[in-house]
Amino acid sequence: MAPLFAFAGLTPMELLIILVLGVLLFGKKLPDVGRSLGKGIVEFKKGLKGVEDDIDTSVNAHYSNGQTQEPPRPPQRLGTTAPKFEDAPAPQAAAQPTDSEGRPRV
């Protein structure tokens, strides 16, 4: 079983030396790095919270708009409005010549 502090095959003494060298080299910049890292994490969480709120708001508005949604009705049969072929009037006979009063000429 590996020791508790072993990381990538390094002993605790080697890790301590690397930590001390890191603090010596980057000591003055570590507070700035930590501060910017903290701000980045806070902004990321705010962004996630904003997206979650937008999704919750849109879902709640969709399902609870104050009206109960009725289930969709089945399709209805529509009556035909155009006359069928059998309902067409019979063709008229050829027109006979008429006089000026509209009486047929003989």
Q: Tens digit of pLDDT for each residue in 42-87? A: 999 999 998 888 888 877 776 666 555 677 788 877 766 666 666 5
Query: What is the reported pTM?
Result: 0.38
In a domain, 76, yes or no: no
* E strand intervals along the chain: none
Using CA atoms, how far apart are residues 30 and 19, in angstroms rounded to an integer? Answer: 12
How many CB atoms lie under 10 A from the CB of residue 7?
13
Among candidate residues 32, 30, 31, 8, the one with its CA nearest the CA of residue 21: 30
In the numeric block, the tokens 């001390």 are attached to 20
Work out how many domains the chain is built from and give that number: 1
In a domain, 41, yes or no: yes
Maximum CA extent, the chain: 135
Task: Return the pLDDT at 94.
Answer: 60
- Per DSSP, 10 falls in state B
